[in-house]
Structures are given as structure tokens and as C-alpha cells.
């Protein structure tokens, strides 16, 4: 390619062939970590496709559909509609974002902008799309470009300065430079400059901590389809008791159990008072001082909301909950998962659909129905241990800006509790684990991660997995983990790139809209 150095006639490929090649390169970059560099030429090809005159939107959709289908196919193990949504909705949104950016660039060039600044609408359009995917009803940040480097923490240590949105910006800038100029120095600088910075940061000594805790991460390996919801809770608690005993755990500072470890819904007002709750509480006390674990809980309300359901003359709301047992005698602390899986735990746009569909809007939220959420991030505190623990539940792990709110609230250790068993032994659970490494880099905190069927691990502040339990292993990880206080620049500033690019996109959209009245066709 003329712009890649290996071939000289890649632009002669027809749009269909170019779409296939770009889609395959994107899949390869995501699926086989040594090929992550293919992300850059894939985006150069996408820029070429978007600028062509014949049906660019269609061929862009084809490339993105191949990428979405080839990298998120495993969602079908949980529900086939998930893959249909990623291919049918997410791919179209991606195609439109890039197509619109290129169209806006063409209009800006007609207005006299001929330098690299004319590419700003392309960057703004794509990054606004990614920012939208963090907050709206169909949120799906899994395929953010900055996440592509999940297996290469050595390359993105500067995420502690700017977050994974900076990774997206890097990919776009490299693609634009390599597509639009032949200057070797410029090409090399934009590609390798961030890598060199990251390598320097990677080999710098890790920040020291005066406090550390002994941690036991439990992976019970209870099959999500055949055992989790039918096996008595008492039996599951006994299994954890056995695993902790066999591991030799004793007087551990923190025990970490997975999401929905207690699967049966229990009322929050009477937590710790049932036989099973009391049994678990005693097991945890036998081996450790404090513990975090998942449960399904509910509470009652007198008034109707968008998320609750009728029960007699009252209403109740279900939650995917993290519970914390501290080293003191106070009751279990409660946090409700704030980012819900679309289709699995929530009906998108339920606030608007519930008045029309009634309780159907709640039931269509998936196997759990539409759940309630916590409006703010809760940090579990244990003053005796000096622990300020972030309870990150499953899907929340994917939301970079959202997760930083825990550190902003004072967290000195991140706990990810999850159940990835729904996806089977696919790339899904491995990518999900590696995303925790990106959160560790962004916040410079250790991560203790308990996954029901794997992968459970401990990650250091540079995003490197240390001890781990692989897929469908059962066992316990015992380790000493530092508590890291302080905030990175990214935690202090938050994701400012997303909002900035969203504003620029909004301005660009208005300019394009107004231009239609003056016959300046993009």
C-alpha cells in the first residue's frame, strides 16, 4: 500500500473488497493481540471508503457490521438479540458517525479550510458517538477504539493522564495523518510518540504505599445456566467455605466474592436476618475481617416510579447489588449497580416507554426485568483497615469516565465483581477482564477481581494481571495488595475530551444544517 509501505495499489480495490478487508483487519486487531497494529491501516481504509462517491454509507456499514459481528458474537450465548443489536444498530451508528464527519469535512474544504484542521469534524463526529455510547439508553462502550489496546498496557500508560478517550483520539489522528500526508517524520511521530511516552511511564517505579491488605479472591465456578439459579444458596455458601478452608485463608483483611453470589432476591430491610444470610456472614467472619459480595435485593416504595412493580398496595424495585461486610459490627453496606446491561437488566428508554407499554416496559428488560440503580457511586469504608473500596459491578467496568467517580470519591482499591459465565469460553470474558487493567491504569489503583466462572485476578496499577484463576477453575487467590491513595490527572479532570468533541460535533451539525439554506452541499 502507498500509505502502509507494503503495497502500492490498495486504493484500486473496489468498495466491497475494501469493506471486507477493513472489517477483517478490525477483527484481527481486537481478537489476536499481536495484530493490534492492524487497527491503524483498517482506519486508513475506512477513511478512503467514507470519501468515495458511490454508496459510502452502505460500504462503511458493511465494514462495521463485520467488525461488530466478528468481535461480539459471544453475546449470542446470553441472548441472540444482543448480536442483532450490535450488528444492526451499533454498526449503523458507527457508519453514520464516520460518513457524516467526512461529509462535513468536504463542506469545510469548500469553505476554504484546506489544512489538517478540516479533519476536525471527522474526529469530533466519531468521538461524540463514543461519548453518546457512555450515557444513552443503548449504551455500548465495548468497542471504543481506546479499548482496543486492552492486551497491551505497555502502550497506553498515558491513559492515567487522559483516559481511554485519548486512545480513540490517537487512532483517529494516526489514520488521518497516514491517509493525508506522505511525510515520514510526521507519520512516525504520531504513531510512535505516544508509545515512547507510555514505555517510559511503564518502566518507571510504581508509586509506593504505606498500607496494604491481605486479600482472598474467590472463584466458586458455579455454572450460570445449569447451577447458579437452581442450586440452593446454602450449598453455594458451603462451597465457598470449602474453597477458603482448602486455600489456607485465615484472618484475611478482605474477601472478594462474585456478582450475584446470593442469587435469590431478598428484602434489604431484613438483610442478615435470614438463615442463609446468617450462614454466609459467619463463614466470612471465619476467614476474614471484611468482605464484598454480590446479591439480588429489593425494597418497597409507596409511590409508582419508572422502575418498580406493584405488589399489593405497594411497589417494589429489584437491584443487582454489592454488599459489604466490614470488620466492625455495623450492618452490611449496600450499593446498587448503576450501569445496567441493555436488554439483560434494563429496557432502553423505559422512562418514555413505560407510560405507553405499562409493566411490559419493565418485563422487557430481560431475564431480570428492568432494575433500579444507585444515582451516585458508593465507596465502602472500613476505617479500622484503612480500606476505601470501589464496588464495580460487571458492566460498570466498561465505562471509563463512570468508574473514575469511585476514585474521585476517595477509593484506594477497586473491586470488580462479575459473572461472565453467560458468554461461555469465548473472547468476551477475556476482554472483560483486560478492561479492568485499563481502569487500573487510568486510576493508578490495584484491582481485585472476582468472576464466578473466571477470569478472577489481581491487577497492579500498570494494568498487569498478577495471580489469576482461569476459565472454569475453582479456587482462591491469596495476595497482599497495596492501598493506593491519591488521584491521577484523568481522575481529577474526568473525560473532558468526550464532552468537548460532542460540542464540536453539535456546532458542526448546525453549520451543515444552516449551509443547506445557502446551497453549500457537503
Q: What is the pLDDT of residues 4-47, one digit of tens each?
A: 444 447 788 899 999 999 999 999 999 998 999 999 999 999 99
CA nearest to 380, candidates 339, 330, 326: 326
Q: What's residue 152's pLDDT?
A: 95
Q: What's residue 358's pLDDT?
A: 52
Rounded to a whole number of angstroms, the distance between the first and last alpha carbons of the chain is 29
Residue 84 has pLDDT above 90, yes or no: no
Q: What's residue 4's pLDDT?
A: 47
Residue 60 lies in a domain: yes
Q: What's residue 305's pLDDT?
A: 77
pLDDT digits (tens, 9 = 90+) for 486-513: 999 999 999 999 999 999 999 999 988 8
What single DSSP character describes residue 294? E
Give Cβ neighbours of residue 230 (< 8 Å, ≥ 6 apart).
none
Residue 515 has pLDDT above 80, yes or no: no
* Whether residues 149 and 252 fall in one domain: no
**CA 434 to the chain's CA centroid:** 10
Residue 362 lies in a domain: no
Residue 220 lies in a domain: yes
Query: How does residue 3 score in pLDDT terms, banded at 50, 70 and 90?
Result: very low
Number of other residues whose CB lies within 10 A of the CB of residue 328: 11
* Whether residues 165 and 291 fall in one domain: no
Q: What's residue 111's pLDDT?
A: 76
Domain of 467, CATH number, reads: 3.60.110.10
* Whether residues 179 and 218 fall in one domain: no
Residue 361 lies in a domain: no
> Which is more confidently placed, 267 or 512?
267
> Which is more confidently placed, 517 or 88?
88
- Structural domain count, the chain: 2
* Whether residues 17 and 124 fall in one domain: yes
* Whether residues 225 and 106 fall in one domain: no
* Whether residues 265 and 248 fall in one domain: yes
Query: How does residue 421 score in pLDDT terms, banded at 50, 70 and 90?
Result: confident
> Which is more confidently placed, 312 or 358?
312
* Whether residues 135 and 72 fall in one domain: yes
> Which is more confidently placed, 475 or 421?
475
Residue 114 has pLDDT above 80, yes or no: no
* Whether residues 312 and 435 fall in one domain: yes
d(CA 163, CA 496): 9
Residue 367 lies in a domain: no
Residue 346 lies in a domain: no
Mean pLDDT (the chain) is: 89
Residue 510 lies in a domain: yes
* Whether residues 395 and 276 fall in one domain: yes
- The helix (run of H) or strand (run of E) holding residue 107 is helix 91-110
* Whether residues 189 and 289 fall in one domain: no
* Whether residues 79 and 225 fall in one domain: no
Q: What is the largest CA-CA distance in the chain?
A: 76
Residue-range definition of the domain harbouring residue 503: 10-204+495-518
* Whether residues 169 and 97 fall in one domain: yes
Give Cβ neighbours of residue 268 (< 8 Å, ≥ 6 apart).
297, 298, 299, 321, 334
pTM recorded for the entire structure:
0.91
pLDDT digits (tens, 9 = 90+) for 447-464: 999 999 989 999 999 999
Residue 449 lies in a domain: yes
Amino acid at each position: 500500500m502507498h500509505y502502509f509501505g507494503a503495497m502500492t495499489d490498495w486504493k484500486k480495490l473496489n468498495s466491497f473488497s475494501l469493506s471486507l478487508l477493513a472489517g477483517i483487519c478490525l477483527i484481527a486487531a481486537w481478537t489476536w493481540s499481536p495484530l493490534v497494529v492492524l487497527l491503524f491501516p483498517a482506519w486508513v481504509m475506512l477513511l478512503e471508503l467514507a470519501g468515495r462517491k458511490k454508496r459510502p454509507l452502505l460500504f462503511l456499514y458493511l465494514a462495521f457490521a463485520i467488525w461488530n459481528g466478528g468481535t461480539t458474537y459471544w453475546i449470542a450465548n446470553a441472548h441472540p438479540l444482543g448480536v442483532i443489536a450490535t450488528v444492526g444498530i451499533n454498526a449503523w451508528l458507527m457508519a453514520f458517525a464516520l460518513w457524516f464527519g467526512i461529509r462535513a469535512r468536504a463542506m469545510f474544504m469548500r469553505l476554504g479550510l484546506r489544512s489538517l484542521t478540516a479533519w476536525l469534524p471527522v474526529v469530533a463526529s466519531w468521538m461524540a458517538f463514543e461519548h453518546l455510547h457512555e450515557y444513552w439508553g443503548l449504551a455500548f462502550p465495548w468497542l471504543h477504539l481506546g479499548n482496543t489496546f486492552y492486551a497491551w498496557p505497555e502502550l497506553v500508560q498515558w491513559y492515567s493522564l487522559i483516559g481511554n478517550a485519548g486512545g480513540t483520539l490517537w487512532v483517529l489522528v494516526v489514520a488521518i495523518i497516514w491517509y493525508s500526508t506522505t511525510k515520514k517524520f510526521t507519520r512516525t511521530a504520531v504513531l510512535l510518540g505516544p508509545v515512547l511516552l507510555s514505555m517510559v511511564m511503564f518502566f518507571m517505579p510504581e508509586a509506593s504505599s504505606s498500607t496494604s491488605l491481605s486479600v482472598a479472591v474467590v472463584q466458586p465456578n458455579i455454572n450460570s445456566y445449569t447451577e447458579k439459579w437452581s442450586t440452593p444458596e446454602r450449598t453455594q455458601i458451603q462451597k465457598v467455605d470449602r474453597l477458603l478452608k482448602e486455600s489456607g485463608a485465615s484472618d484475611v483483611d478482605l474477601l472478594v466474592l462474585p456478582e450475584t453470589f446470593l442469587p435469590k432476591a431478598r428484602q434489604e430491610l431484613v438483610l442478615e436476618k435470614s438463615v442463609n444470610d446468617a450462614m454466609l456472614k459467619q463463614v466470612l467472619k471465619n476467614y476474614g475481617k471484611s468482605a464484598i459480595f454480590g446479591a439480588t435485593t429489593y425494597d418497597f416504595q409507596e409511590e409508582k416510579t419508572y422502575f418498580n412493580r406493584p405488589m399489593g398496595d405497594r411497589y417494589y424495585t429489584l437491584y443487582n447489588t454489592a454488599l459489604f461486610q466490614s470488620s466492625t459490627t455495623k450492618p452490611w453496606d449496600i450499593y446498587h449497580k448503576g450501569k445496567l446491561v441493555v436488554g439483560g437488566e434494563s429496557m432502553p428508554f423505559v422512562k418514555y416507554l413505560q407510560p405507553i407499554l405499562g409493566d411490559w416496559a419493565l418485563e422487557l428488560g430481560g431475564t431480570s426485568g428492568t432494575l433500579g440503580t444507585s444515582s451516585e457511586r458508593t465507596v465502602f469504608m472500613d476505617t479500622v483497615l484503612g480500606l476505601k473500596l470501589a464496588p464495580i459491578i460487571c458492566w460498570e467496568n466498561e465505562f471509563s469516565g463512570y468508574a473514575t467517580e469511585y476514585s474521585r470519591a476517595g477509593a484506594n482499591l477497586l473491586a470488580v465483581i462479575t459473572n461472565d459465565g453467560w458468554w461461555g469460553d469465548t473472547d468476551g470474558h477475556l476482554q472483560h477482564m483486560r478492561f479492568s487493567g485499563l481502569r487500573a491504569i487510568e486510576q493508578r489503583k490495584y484491582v481485585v477481581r472476582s468472576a464466578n466462572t473466571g477470569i478472577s485476578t489481581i491487577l497492579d496499577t500498570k494494568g498487569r494481571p498478577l495471580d489469576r484463576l482461569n476459565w472454569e477453575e475453582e479456587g482462591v487467590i491469596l495476595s497482599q495488595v497495596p492501598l493506593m491513595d491519591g488521584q491521577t490527572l484523568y481522575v481529577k479532570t474526568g473525560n473532558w475530551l468526550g464532552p468537548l468533541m460532542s460540542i464540536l460535533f453539535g456546532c458542526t451539525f448546525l453549520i451543515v444544517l444552516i449551509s443547506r439554506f445557502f446551497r453549500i452541499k457537503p
